[in-house]
Structure 1
Amino acid sequence: MGHVLEKRYRRLLRACPEGYRAGVPGWADGLHLGALAVAVVTVAQLPVLPYLVFKVWTGVGVVLVVALVRGWTRVAAPVAAIAALLTSWPIVLGWLHSPVVDVGPLYGDLGPVAPYWVVAAASAVLAVRRTGAGRASGQARWWGGTMPVRSPWWLVVPPVCWALQLARGPADETVWGVVRAGVEVVALLLVLAATLAARDGRWALAAAVYLVPGLVHLAENLLVTRVSGFLYWSVLTVLVVTSLAAARRMRVRA
């Protein structure tokens, strides 16, 4: 009976919107999903409302998210690379130089720019891999979809978060931080459950990609991080490492 239920659950995971992609290796699917999650969360945190501070930058973020949802990694890769370079300009060339085009925030720390570089690197890897496959088959088009289309529900997240900025005051930062932490923990628990049930590591890889910018931020702020912060990152790290270990164990058994 348990074996039958497990098979049914695995079929359900394969049929879900963010489940298996036919013809796509697990590592590519997981990398794509992780990059999309990082991009969506980063764009959702932009200070859009009540005043549109960075109009062009918000548009760039929307283009990036849409490109990733549609699977256009050859479009997402250069957009993410430009965004990463512009935001980290003070780190790359120092405070004495300003970028040619100043359309968004500039950061002098690694933590805030890490998400942009993670998305740029992941998109570049996916674009290069699919470009080679497309050329071999004679069907390569630079603007076409190189990865399967993701669920359109991803596009809803940024507008909802922007709308919540209207109702959120400075005193609510702690509350929103707790809410986000709770959502992340629940999501990573689901990743672990899906990894064990489907015996596939793509969700674990996506979770690891999502965690990388946070760990960069933690490493850069170790001396000022509170105990609650260490506990928060420890829980997320343990869940991700456990999922990766479970995926590796399942692969060895297979």
Structure 2
Amino acid sequence: MSHVLELRYRRLLRAYPKDYRAKHGEELIGTLMEAARPGVHRPSAREALHLLAGGFTARVRATRAYGVPPWADGLHLGVLIVAVLTFARLPVLPYFIYPVWTALGIVLMVALVRGWMRVAAPLAAVAAVATSWPMIPVLGSPVLALGPLYGDLAPVAPYWVVAAGSAVLAVRRVGAGPTSGKARWRGVTMPARSSWWLLVPLAGWALQLTQVPTWEPVWVVARSGVEVVALLLVLAATLAVRDGRWALAAAVYLLPGLVYLAENLLVTSARGFLYWGVLTALVAASLVTARRVHAKA
């Protein structure tokens, strides 16, 4: 029976990063096996929750970008999230309407993932200005529309958030060393992030290919649920890492949404206010928590 119990504990340990398991896995297994009562067929709820919480904390701490300050790490993550979600909603399939614009978006997202902020910043600026062209009278009429053109503030807000954040990260002062984001000719000022982020726009485009009506209530509710769960995890991660990087990333993500709310304030329903209120409250709670744990550190 102890063998079965050990296998169950090892499954729970998969929540920990690989390097952490290599160093401490056997020690944790031994401790839990010693604490287990004779005849127990599975870990108690308390033991399982403690193990999962420890795994979550170790996982979150392992994702921190070392060699850069928390504000830069959080800003980079927030800008990347806004970028991949914005281009995931860009109408690309099943009709390839904006080939040049899609290519620009792919290069921009790759640059953000790789930390090439001095490449990402000008591309993001071009995207922001191009989408806002009808709103800038001094530019006149667009000669060639490479991508979507908007006359309202809300649709262009994500592009300007990405442009502003990329510009800040591109010009920030970086130190020396392999993990510090040392700037080279290709514009590396931030450590690279996981390439899995590039699956987000691919998944969005694949969903377009199925022509699923994502505006239906079931999809809207599902998206809202995912956002709430994600922001709850941000709050938990803020407590785990004891700094504001995750809270700042969530605030950057929420900013374009608040611009949309402000522009559509008079036509927003009670459900809309509830939705934005919950998201804002969770982000605010994360920011307050980050400030408090930083003050105690």
TM-score by length of structure 1 reads: 0.89
Equivalent of residue 176 in structure 1, options 219, 231, 235: 219
Residue of structure 1 equivalent to 2:165: 122
Give the deviation of 1:197 after TM superposition.
Answer: 2.0
1:104-162 per-position Cα deviation (integer Å, ceiling 9, x unaligned): 111111100000000000000000004x647xx9x642314211111111011111111
Identical-residue share of aligned pairs (%): 67
Equivalent of residue 247 in structure 1, options 252, 267, 290: 290
Output the amino acid matched with 1:242. Answer: A
Equivalent of residue 122 in structure 2, options 78, 81, 85: 78
Give the structure with higher Rg (CA). Answer: 2
Give the deviation of 1:8 after TM superposition.
Answer: 6.5
Q: CA RMSD in A?
A: 2.3
**Higher RCO by CA contacts (8 Å cutoff, separation 6 or greater):** 1
Residue of structure 1 equivalent to 2:58: 11
Give the deviation of 1:82 after TM superposition.
Answer: 0.4
How many residue pairs match? The answer is 245
For residues 226-245 of structure 1, the aligned pairs below 5 Å read 226-245=269-288
Residue of structure 2 equivalent to 1:20: 64
Structure 2 distance, partners of 1:7, 1:176, is: 33
Give the deviation of 1:103 after TM superposition.
Answer: 0.2
1:7-43 per-position Cα deviation (integer Å, ceiling 9, x unaligned): 765433222xxx2111110000000000000000000
Structure 2 distance, partners of 1:123, 1:34, is: 10
Output the amino acid matched with 1:237. Answer: T
Contact 2:117 2:166 in 1 (8 A): yes
Residue of structure 2 equivalent to 1:193: 236
TM-score by length of structure 2 reads: 0.77
1:42-96 per-position Cα deviation (integer Å, ceiling 9, x unaligned): 00001111101111111111111111000011111000000000100111127x9
Q: What secondary structure is seen at the aligned counterpart in 2 of 1:82? A: helix
Give the deviation of 1:171 after TM superposition.
Answer: 7.4
Structure 2 distance, partners of 1:8, 1:171, is: 34
1:111 aligned to 2:154? yes
Unaligned runs of 5+ in 2: 1-45
1:58 aligned to 2:102? yes
1:48 aligned to 2:100? no
Q: What secondary structure is seen at the aligned counterpart in 2 of 1:24? A: coil
Equivalent of residue 202 in structure 1, options 223, 245, 262: 245
1:154 aligned to 2:214? no
Output the amino acid matched with 2:103. Answer: G
Q: 1:62/1:216 Cα in 2 relative to 1: closer, same or farther (>3 Å)? A: same
For residues 135-154 of structure 1, the aligned pairs below 5 Å read 140-154=183-197
Output the amino acid matched with 2:84. Answer: V
Unaligned runs of 5+ in 1: none
Q: What secondary structure is seen at the aligned counterpart in 2 of 1:33? A: helix
